[in-house]
Structure 1
Amino acid sequence: MRRREFIKFSVGTAAAASIAPRAVAQAELKEVRVGYQKNGVLVIARQQAALEKHFASQCIEVKWVEFSSGPPMMEAMNVGSVDFGAVGDSPPVFAQAAGAAIVYAAGQPITNGQGILVPKDSPIRTIADLKGKRIGFTKGSSAHNIVVQTLETASLTYADITPVYLTPPDAGPAFANGSIEAWAIWDPYFAIGETKQGGRILINSRDVTRTNSFYIANREFAKNHGAVLQQIVDVTTAAGKWAEQHRDEVAKSLAAITGVPLDIQTVAANRANFVVGPVTDDIVATQQGVADRFYKLGLIPKPIVIRDIVWRNPAA
Structure 2
Amino acid sequence: MNRRSAARLVLAGLTLSLALGCNPAAAEESTLRIGYQRSSALISLLREDATLETALKPLGVTVSWHEFTSGLPIMEALNVGRIDVSADVADTVPVFAQAANAKITYIAQEAASPEAQAILVPGDSPLKTVADLKGRKVAVTKGAGSHYLLLAALKAEGLPFKSINPAYLTPADGRSALSGGSVDAWVAWDPFLSAAQIQAGARILRDGTGLSAYKRYYLASDAYAEKRADVLTLLVTKLREAGTWVKANPDAAAARLGALWKIEPEIVKQANARRSYRVEPVSRAGLAEQQTIADAFRAEGLLPRAVDASALPVWELPSR
TM-score by length of 2: 0.83
Q: Which amino acid aligns with 1:257?
A: L
1:254 to 254, 257, 278: 257
Deviations 1:217-257 (A, max 9, x none): 22333233333223212221221122221222211121122
Question: How large is the Cα RMSD of the aligned pairs?
Answer: 2.3
2:315 to 296, 303, 312: 312
Answer yes or no: is the 8 Å Cα contact 1:288–1:305 preserved in 2: yes
Bigger Rg over Cα: 1
State the partner residue of 1:218: 221
Q: Which amino acid aligns with 2:107?
A: A
State the partner residue of 1:33: 34
Measured in 2, the distance between the counterparts of 1:165 and 1:34 equals 25
State the partner residue of 2:232: 229
Measured in 2, the distance between the counterparts of 1:135 and 1:189 equals 16
State the partner residue of 2:166: 163
% identical aligned pairs: 34
State the partner residue of 2:21: none
From the superposition, tell whether residues 25 and 210 of structure 1 become closer, same or farther in structure 2 (CA, over 3 Å). closer
The 3-state SS of whatever aligns with 1:203 is strand
State the partner residue of 1:98: 100
Q: Which amino acid aligns with 2:175?
A: G
How many pairs does the alignment contain?
293
More deviation, 55-64/231-240: 55-64
Measured in 2, the distance between the counterparts of 1:29 and 1:228 equals 10
* Structure 2 unaligned regions, length at least 5: 1-24
From the superposition, tell whether residues 122 and 209 of structure 1 become closer, same or farther in structure 2 (CA, over 3 Å). same
Q: CA deviation at 1:207?
A: 4.1
Deviations 1:153-210 (A, max 9, x none): 1111111122222222332222221222211111100101111133111111114333
The 3-state SS of whatever aligns with 2:155 is helix
Measured in 1, the distance between the counterparts of 2:212 and 2:275 equals 16
State the partner residue of 1:8: none
The 3-state SS of whatever aligns with 1:72 is helix
Deviations 1:89-121 (A, max 9, x none): 111111111212322111122332211111111
TM-score by length of 1: 0.84
State the partner residue of 1:138: 141
From the superposition, tell whether residues 158 and 266 of structure 1 become closer, same or farther in structure 2 (CA, over 3 Å). same
Q: Which amino acid aligns with 1:240?
A: G
Answer yes or no: is the 8 Å Cα contact 1:138–1:168 preserved in 2: yes
The 3-state SS of whatever aligns with 2:81 is coil
Measured in 2, the distance between the counterparts of 1:73 and 1:27 equals 20
Q: Which amino acid aligns with 2:167?
A: V
Measured in 1, the distance between the counterparts of 2:221 and 2:184 equals 37
